[in-house]
Amino acid sequence: MRQASENLQKGSPTTAALTWLLWQWGKQVHSWNEIFELETQISDWKIRVDKDLSPAWKKGADMSLKGILSANPPVTNIESWNALLKQYDEYWMQLAYAQAALAAAQGEIPVGAIIVSQNQIIGQGFNAPISLNDPTAHAEIVALRDACQNIQNYRLPDDAVLYVTLEPCTMCVGALVHSRVSRVVFGAFEAKAGSLVSARQLFETGYYNHVFSFEAGCMQQQCSEQLSAFFKLRREQKRQLRLQEKLLNTQK
């Protein structure tokens, strides 16, 4: 709430505030009354918010304030708000998914990530340890480096959200903590290495001085299928290779 009134006083809420609002609502608001309070606070700059939307934002669902207030089905309670927020997350996750497809095309395990701030992608990347000869080149790290270079800062903006198609590992959770990301949304669960919910819950150790909020399972099915399709194809390629070798050996 403190940050909202600061934005209002500065008189430049526009997309930054809208993003902040979405993030804040998604993260912290627990009742419709709280949403209503925020809505009252921001009602006087509805139009300014609408005017300043980025093209990327426009391409997706109508998530402008006007769109939110006139959504169909209408946002009338916390459930319908959450449904709208889900739509917002899925819109960005699709772009992370497209990054993952680029990894698969290079023969790398398909994991993709994007970082969004003020309704803009400020960083993106895909898993590429083999092609970069870099064991740390997980999608999250590549996207973090891209974003930090773009904004010329060692930390991400306050409202930054990272979308990644697979649950982050220990290394990536650590790097994300250092980056001060505000929120992480991931797609598929990673049973063996996932360090937010699956294999271990790093934030429950109480070790970190900064934690981020996270959302699990956004476009989970698509992201899992993308991974299993990749592994299936790779198994088939290996099988074909073995067959060819066998054939060559018998011809000798």
What CA–CA distance (Å, rounded) separates 18 from 24? 10
Give the residue among 174, 172, 164 at the shortest CA–CA distance from 219. Answer: 164
CB of 108 to Zn ion, least distance (A): 13
Of 7, 104, 119, 138, which lies in the binding site for Zn ion, with binding defined by CB under 5 A?
138
Cβ-defined contacts of 84-88 (< 8 Å, 24+): 85/22, 85/25, 85/26, 86/218, 87/61, 87/63, 88/22, 88/60, 88/61, 88/63
Amino acid making up residue 83 = A
Q: Which stretch binds Zn ion (CB under 5 A): 93-101, 135-143, 203-211, 225-233?
A: 135-143
Contact pattern from residue 159 through residue 198 relative to Zn ion, giving x for each residue in contact according to CB under 5 A and a dash for the rest? ----------x--x--------------------------
* Catalytic annotation, pick one of 108, 140, 167, 190: 140
Tokens, residue 188: 């598929």
Q: Which is nearer to Zn ion, 169 or 196 (CB)?
A: 169
Q: Which is nearer to Zn ion, 157 or 168 (CB)?
A: 168
CB 127 within 8 A of CB 108: yes
CB of 250 to Zn ion, least distance (A): 43
Is 140 in the active site?
yes
CB of 190 to Zn ion, least distance (A): 9
Q: Which is nearer to Zn ion, 53 or 169 (CB)?
A: 169
CB 215 within 8 A of CB 184: yes
Q: Which is nearer to Zn ion, 191 or 248 (CB)?
A: 191
Determine if 137 is a binding residue for Zn ion (CB under 5 A): no
Q: Which is nearer to Zn ion, 8 or 102 (CB)?
A: 102
Angle at 226 between CA 164 and CA 217, to 5 degrees: 45
CB of 130 to Zn ion, least distance (A): 14
Give the residue among 81, 68, 11 at the shortest CA–CA distance from 45. Answer: 11
Angle at 29 between CA 25 and CA 33, to 5 degrees: 110
Please, which of residues 20-39 interact with Zn ion by CB under 5 A?
none
Q: Residue count at the site for Zn ion (CB under 5 A)?
A: 3
CB of 205 to Zn ion, least distance (A): 18
What are the residues facing 117 on neighbouring strands?
Answer: 120
Q: Interface with Zn ion by CB under 5 A: which residues?
A: 138, 169, 172
Residues annotated as catalytic (active site), given as ranges: 140
